[in-house]
Amino acid sequence: MSMKVKPGGKILLILLLLGGIYAAKVLWWDKRPQEAKAATDIGKVSLPDAPEASLSKNAVMMPLPGQDEALNGGTKIVWKIMAWNSQFPVMYANGGINTTKGSLLDKAKLQLTLERQDDCNKSVADMVKFAQEYKNNPNAPGVFASFMGDGMPMFFAALSKELEPLGPDYQPIAFYAMGKSYGEDKLMGPSDWKRDPKNALGKTVACVLRDGDMNILLKWAGDNGLRVNPDETSYDRNAVNLIAANDFLDAGNKYIAGYSESRKMIVDGKKVSRDTTVGVDGVATWTPGDVNVAQKKGGLVNIASTREYASQMPNITITIKKFAYDHRTDIENLIMALSQAGDQVRSFTEAKAFAADVSAKVYNEQNGAYWLKYYNGMEEKDAQGINVSLGGSMAFNLADAANLFGLGKDGLDRYKIVYNTFGDIIIKMYPELIPTYPVYNKVVDKSFLTSVVSNHPELLEGTAIKETYAPEITREVSSKSYEIQFETGSAVIKPASYTVLDEILKSAVVAEGLKLGVYGHTDNVGNDAANLKLSDSRAEAVKSYLISKGLSADRLESKGFGASKPIEDNATAEGRARNRRVQIVLGN
């Protein structure tokens, strides 16, 4: 399996000497670990048969694209894509490696060539080369690229810098998302990490540094109040430690092979001369890296994945601003075709299987059955008899894309939250290497999608992906206490705490696959019944705030526990202060 490199993993190598892998790490060795914040019969009327069907039961499946290459004379585009099942819509819409006759993109008068490119560094170079050529030749074929949404802050930081000499019109922009990871990207670890996240302290996770899957670890750790040691050359027994992998397969292979290495220990926030040997305790990877871990060794369970962090990894498509604005009609027609393709793939098994067959051709690897299996996701027993979920992606229709970019009914710009959340995390982890990242509104251009949504309501008939939540949380994925200030003796939230509440909102948006519990606690001062009532009212107030910001009511639960669950000794003022808290739990 070739490497599916995500933007966070290698994108900044264009700014460093090639081959000097993460050489700047030596600048970090005296830093303290930092908390990571942040599947019927096809007849005249085809019935939707996929579990995630988005079209109504009376919808008719479109004829599948032909096999012959289309020569429609339309705008030529080369699209650089990594091997990732979230791209089923473009596979279906294009009909093949090159646009085929009768395909949606043929009807849109586009001539698209899909090229597998797993190396983000090369995609950056391709995009820079295209921008230079296009400035001199407006007839040059367009170049697009797609990447993991949570890694885009790093990608844009690198690419924007490279394109600065060409002027503002030649900066990169993101304009659409055709799908997302929906389980395949994951953090795998021992089962006791799931039982109690604090068991991960002093343990190691192998991953590609600054990669999208490392972001899953950071999100999970941050939500559980765990620190992550950013320096992969040291060991801190009070933090989760990182073991650098060359790629996502290497991350799993290090665990399988029993890899170990010597580390300098951190004592009181400083590296000391004492060495210790560490092995690989957990892995952050994606399919088929997770399959290798399960089949070749086993013993690890899914701690957190993009099934729970359901908004974290949309497939974001970018190009150069000048090309997009010069070809606005083409871009909008592309969006229309991809959204129709998303509905077809979501609703009809035959369409989904067709997209899988095209994927095998584009990636030049495995067969359609392989890609179809891991698009759907599956559960199997690992080498040690443990059930493990593997794979999982989802195609977007127009309603899904609108919801992602804040153009849906709730007005919640999910991608803005994802972009800023992981941008902030990475600059906090690696301030010397990544001091800043581009502002969201400068690199995400919603004008093309807004036009399609406004002018083509018929394309919004497909139902958007909707998470379903249990009546109450029975399994915690993360739990963290927050100090939220209320007016004395009341459930009125002080404005000073709105920032904290917005941080909770952002965390919840990224983890859209999980139910959110708001639990109020007090100290033991006063009447028990009054404390119970006050804690319940305060939890309800936080719940109401989050609903007012766009979270669905069926996703939230609130409870008050009064003074019954202290985390510190109520005999001290400091202990009582810590016991007066609002606990936020993400679970299912």
Tens digit of each residue's pLDDT (9 = 90 or more) over 53-63: 788 777 889 99
Element (H, E) at 249: helix 248-257
Q: Are 52 and 346 in contact (CB under 8 A)?
A: yes
- Residue 269: the pLDDT is 80
- Residue 34: the pLDDT is 38
Verify that 139 and 65 share a domain, yes or no. yes
Residue 415 has pLDDT above 70, yes or no: yes
Residue 348 has pLDDT above 70, yes or no: yes
Verify that 271 and 331 share a domain, yes or no. no
Verify that 560 and 429 share a domain, yes or no. no
- Residue 245: the pLDDT is 93
Tens digit of each residue's pLDDT (9 = 90 or more) over 511-529: 999 999 999 999 999 999 9
Helix, coil or strand: residue 587: strand
pTM to 2 decimal places: 0.86
Tens digit of each residue's pLDDT (9 = 90 or more) over 533-562: 999 999 999 999 999 999 999 999 999 999
Q: What confidence category does residue 8 fall into, taking pLDDT thresholds of 50, 70 and 90?
A: very low
Three-state SS sequence of 88-101: HHHHHHHCCCECEC
Among 261, 284, 305, the domain-final residue is 305
Verify that 134 and 41 share a domain, yes or no. yes
Verify that 315 and 437 share a domain, yes or no. yes
Verify that 344 and 456 share a domain, yes or no. yes
Verify that 272 and 166 share a domain, yes or no. no
Q: What is the mean pLDDT of residues 24-48?
A: 31
Identify whether 2 is part of a domain. Answer: no
Residue 139 has pLDDT above 60, yes or no: yes
Helix, coil or strand: residue 327: coil
Work out how many domains the chain is built from and give that number.
Answer: 3
Helix, coil or strand: residue 364: coil
Identify whether 120 is part of a domain. Answer: yes
DSSP state of 61: P
CATH number assigned to the domain comprising residue 544: 3.30.1330.60
Residue 43 has pLDDT above 70, yes or no: no
Identify whether 3 is part of a domain. Answer: no
Ramachandran sector of residue 63 (left: φ over 0; alpha: ψ -120 to 50; beta: rest): beta
Verify that 197 and 178 share a domain, yes or no. no
| Greatest extent of the chain over all pairs of C-alpha atoms, in Å | 80
Tokens of 518: 């708001």
Q: What is the mean pLDDT of residues 438-464?
A: 96
Element (H, E) at 41: none
How far is the C-alpha of 236 from the C-alpha of 241, rounded, in Å?
7
- Residue 285: the pLDDT is 92
CATH number assigned to the domain comprising residue 243: 3.40.190.10
How far is the C-alpha of 95 from the C-alpha of 105, rounded, in Å?
8
Give the residue numbers spanning the domain of 191. Answer: 185-305
Q: Are 307 and 513 in contact (CB under 8 A)?
A: yes
Identify whether 233 is part of a domain. Answer: yes
Verify that 541 and 578 share a domain, yes or no. yes
Q: What is the mean pLDDT of residues 210-217?
A: 87
Residue 448 has pLDDT above 70, yes or no: yes
Q: Can you point out the beta strands (E) in 29-91?
A: 34-35, 75-81
Among 287, 305, 323, the domain-final residue is 305
Verify that 175 and 98 share a domain, yes or no. yes
Q: What is the mean pLDDT of residues 19-38?
A: 35
Percent of the chain with pLDDT over 70: 91
Tens digit of each residue's pLDDT (9 = 90 or more) over 476-496: 889 989 989 999 889 999 999
Distance of CA 294 to the CA centre of its chain: 22
- Residue 432: the pLDDT is 85
How far is the C-alpha of 408 from the C-alpha of 355, rounded, in Å?
27
Identify whether 277 is part of a domain. Answer: yes
Residue 46 has pLDDT above 80, yes or no: no
- Residue 3: the pLDDT is 41
Distance of CA 492 to the CA centre of its chain: 34
Verify that 173 and 58 share a domain, yes or no. yes
Identify whether 378 is part of a domain. Answer: no
Helix, coil or strand: residue 353: helix
Q: What confidence category does residue 272 fall into, taking pLDDT thresholds of 50, 70 and 90?
A: confident
Q: Which residue has the higher pLDDT, 383 or 268?
A: 383
Verify that 84 and 143 share a domain, yes or no. yes
Q: What is the mean pLDDT of the chain?
A: 88
How far is the C-alpha of 315 from the C-alpha of 148, rounded, in Å?
5
Helix, coil or strand: residue 317: strand
Q: What is the mean pLDDT of residues 98-105?
A: 98
Identify whether 200 is part of a domain. Answer: yes
Which amino acid makes up residue 558? S
Identify whether 1 is part of a domain. Answer: no
Residue 384 has pLDDT above 90, yes or no: yes
Q: What confidence category does residue 51 fall into, taking pLDDT thresholds of 50, 70 and 90?
A: low
Q: Are 14 and 161 in contact (CB under 8 A)?
A: no
Look-up: residue for tokens 């957990």?
A: 282
